[in-house]
């Protein structure tokens, strides 16, 4: 099928049938103008799946959510920003209490609740502001995806959301999503917080497999600073209200769903990379001609993660030697003598390296190409047919500023 049948729509997580969202300020953050408490609820119990940080130091909410999704079903997502509820002695207790608050106001069993927290690590998360705020949060439920989006943001400068519409067997279906990105974005799975909703009817088993596969080519392919958060969580709830025939195997309809999901996750990945802490430019690195998909992915990711490449892009400097250098230490068995490198942007394509050696280019044209806000690095390894794309951002003064004193 063509992607023409996937069209973007408004509404974020509330775009699919049967989902409501809310975001309020409850008092975890001192700044009263910043929402810090979010809720997403489905009218009916939904098939649900999640992927989580592979960091051994895990936030308590990650442990609780994982447990709650073991049976493949959920009906609500509760999330706070301002505190990650990680490395706290009472972390599990607080995460469970947050689910209990949802049960109290909505009647949704607490083990059908997905819980997430984001913010500083190692500071006690006080349940009191959430206990006080849960009623007004629940009362605010409506077509308020952007409120929920705002409430999960930390140092994000822009909200990240997408929603799409497509048809499965004649039924109109939708997927919606909100995400927060920013620093510590170098997951080996989903990144930070991404909440997806859909009215597609799909079995929990197939949904989990789809999400696990999807993140390998989307959220796993982004890097902001190479650090991996303790709280990375990507969850999806599919409530079936679109009325399509239940997806249980890899049918044609399933492929459409999978494509629509990938559309959303890749869009969010780029948004997350572009809004990396202090970033002024999105870097997209395409690696082709790889022997294996793994080789393509590892090389693309290594280039995106190189501080020297990132700083060169910030400075609009066509320092392709740093790209070669990063390819060389990726750990993959590349052949330096067969590597081609181009830089590309809206302003054109700049060929800088052929067969591992530099080619002459105009420094003036290089500045023009690299001064754009979206820069592509295109690498051909000439070893095979596999391809991968990774996304990252430049390294700037502001990254240092933001992270030099995050807690205060």
- Is residue 118 close enough to count as binding a second copy by CB under 8 A? no
Q: How far is the CB of 54 from a second copy (least distance, A)?
A: 7
Q: Which one of 108, 137, 264, 326 is in contact with a second copy (CB under 8 A)? A: 326
Compare residues 221 and 266 and give the one whose CB is closer to a second copy: 221
Q: How far is the CB of 396 from a second copy (least distance, A)?
A: 6
DSSP for residue 385: S
End-to-end CA gap in the chain: 50
Query: For a second copy, which is the closer residue by CB, 4 or 30?
Result: 30
Q: Between the CA of residue 301 and those of 229, 252, 386, 399, what are the distances in Å? A: 17, 31, 15, 19
Task: Give residues 163-192 in contact with a second copy (rule: CB under 8 A).
Answer: 183-184
Residue 158, CB-side half-sphere exposure with 13 Å CA sphere = 14
E runs forming strands in 185-328: 193-198, 222-223, 233-238, 282-290
Cβ distance to a second copy smaller for residue 20 or 281: 281
The reply on whether position 29 binds a second copy by CB under 8 A is no
Instruction: Pick from 98, 324, 377, 379 the residue near a second copy by CB under 8 A.
Output: 324
Tell whether residue 315 is a contact of a second copy (CB under 8 A). yes
Count Cα neighbours of 355 within 13 Å in the Cβ-side half-sphere: 1
With CB under 8 A as the contact rule, the residue among 111, 131, 227, 372 that binds a second copy is 227
| Contacts with 251 (C-beta within 8 Å, 6 or more apart), sequence order | none
Q: Judged by CB under 8 A, which of 179, 305, 350, 389 binds a second copy?
A: 305
| Selected range binding a second copy among 43-51, 164-172, 288-296, 330-338, rule: CB under 8 A | 330-338
Stretch that binds a second copy, among 97-105, 106-114, 146-154, 219-227 (CB under 8 A): 219-227
**Residue 171, burial from CB neighbour count under 10 angstroms (0-12, 13-18, 19+):** middle
Q: Which of 353, 377, 389, 393 binds a second copy (CB under 8 A)?
A: 353
* Shortest spacing between CB 294 and a second copy, in angstroms: 16
Q: Does 30 bind a second copy (CB under 8 A)?
A: no
Which of 320, 344, 389, 393 binds a second copy (CB under 8 A)? It is 320
Which run of H or E residues covers position 50?
A: strand 37-52
Q: Work out whether 217 is an interface residue with a second copy (CB under 8 A).
A: no
Catalytic annotation on 191? yes
Q: Which of 5, 8, 70, 122 binds a second copy (CB under 8 A)?
A: 122
Site for a second copy, residues 38 to 97, rule: CB under 8 A: 54-58, 84, 86-89
Nearer to a second copy by Cβ, of 115 and 353: the residue is 353
Q: Taking CB under 8 A as the rule, does residue 282 contact a second copy?
A: no
Rounded Cα distance between 279 and 276, Å, is 5
Adjacent-strand bridge partners of 221: none
Q: Which residues contact 65 (CB under 8 A, 6 or more apart)?
A: 50, 52, 114, 115, 116, 233, 235
Binding a second copy (rule: CB under 8 A), the pick from 147, 150, 225, 380 is 225
Answer for which of 8, 44, 142, 357 binds a second copy (CB under 8 A) is 357
For residues 358 and 306, the answer to whether their CB atoms sit within 8 Å is no
Choose the catalytic residue: 65, 86, 161, 191: 191
C-alpha angle 65-256-202 in degrees, rounded to nearest 5? 40
What is each CA distance from 184 to 187, 188, 260, 272, 392, in whole angstroms? 8, 11, 27, 11, 12
Burial of 360 (0-12, 13-18, 19+ CB in 10 A): exposed
Task: Based on the shown chain and the rule CB under 8 A, indicate whether residue 336 belongs to the binding site for a second copy.
Answer: yes
How far CA 206 is from CA of 48, 60, 66, 182, 248, in Å, comes to 10, 27, 17, 30, 6
Q: At 75, phi and psi to the nearest 5?
A: -140, -10
Residue 5 or residue 307: which is nearer to a second copy going by CB? Answer: 307
Rounded Cα distance between 399 and 361, Å, is 31
Q: Based on CB atoms, which residue is closest to a second copy, 229 or 376?
A: 229
Instruction: Kindly state whether residue 325 participates in binding a second copy, applying the rule CB under 8 A.
Output: yes
Residues that bind a second copy (CB under 8 A): 54-58, 84, 86-89, 120-124, 183-184, 225-230, 305-308, 311-312, 314-317, 319-322, 324-329, 333-334, 336, 352-353, 356-358, 395-397, 399-408
Active site residues: 191
């Amino acid at each position: 099928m063509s992607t023409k049948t996937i069209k973007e729509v408004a509404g974020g997580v509330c775009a699919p049938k049967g989902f409501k969202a809310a975001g309020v300020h409850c008092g975890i953050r001192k700044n009263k103008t910043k929402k810090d408490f979010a809720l997403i609820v489905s009218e009916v119990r939904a098939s649900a799946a999640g992927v989580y940080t592979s960091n051994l130091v895990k936030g308590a909410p990650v442990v609780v959510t994982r447990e709650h999704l073991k049976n493949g079903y959920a009906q609500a997502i509760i999330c706070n920003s301002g505190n990650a509820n990680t490395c706290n002695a009472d972390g599990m207790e607080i995460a469970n209490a947050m689910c209990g608050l949802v049960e109290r106001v909505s009647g949704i069993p607490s083990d059908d609740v997905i819980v997430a927290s984001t913010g500083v690590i190692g500071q006690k998360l006080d349940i009191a502001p959430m206990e006080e705020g849960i009623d007004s949060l629940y009362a605010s439920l409506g077509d308020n995806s952007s409120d929920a989006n705002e409430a999960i943001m930390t140092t994000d400068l822009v909200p990240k959301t997408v929603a799409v519409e497509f048809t499965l067997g004649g039924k109109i279906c939708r997927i919606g999503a909100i995400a927060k990105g920013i620093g510590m974005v170098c997951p080996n799975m989903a990144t930070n917080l991404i909440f997806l909703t859909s009215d597609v009817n799909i079995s929990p088993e197939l949904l989990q497999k789809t999400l696990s596969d999807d993140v390998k080519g989307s959220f796993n392919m982004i890097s902001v600073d190479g650090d991996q958060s303790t709280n990375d969580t990507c969850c999806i709830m599919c409530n079936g209200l679109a009325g399509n025939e239940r997806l249980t195997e890899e049918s044609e309809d399933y492929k459409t769903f999978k494509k629509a999901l990938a559309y959303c996750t890749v869009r969010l990945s780029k948004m997350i990379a572009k809004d990396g802490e202090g970033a002024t430019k999105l870097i997209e690195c395409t690696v082709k001609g790889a022997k294996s998909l793994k080789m393509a992915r590892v090389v693309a990711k290594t280039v995106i993660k190189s501080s020297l490449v990132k700083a060169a892009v910030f400075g609009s400097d066509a320092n392709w030697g740093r790209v070669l250098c990063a390819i060389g230490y990726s750990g993959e068995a590349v052949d330096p003598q067969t590597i081609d490198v181009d830089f590309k942007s809206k302003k054109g394509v700049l060929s800088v390296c052929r067969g591992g050696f530099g080619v002459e280019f105009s420094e003036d044209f290089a500045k023009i190409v690299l001064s754009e806000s979206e820069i592509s690095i295109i690498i051909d390894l000439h070893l095979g047919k596999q391809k991968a794309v990774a996304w990252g951002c430049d390294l700037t003064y502001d990254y240092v500023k933001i992270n030099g004193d995050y807690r205060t």
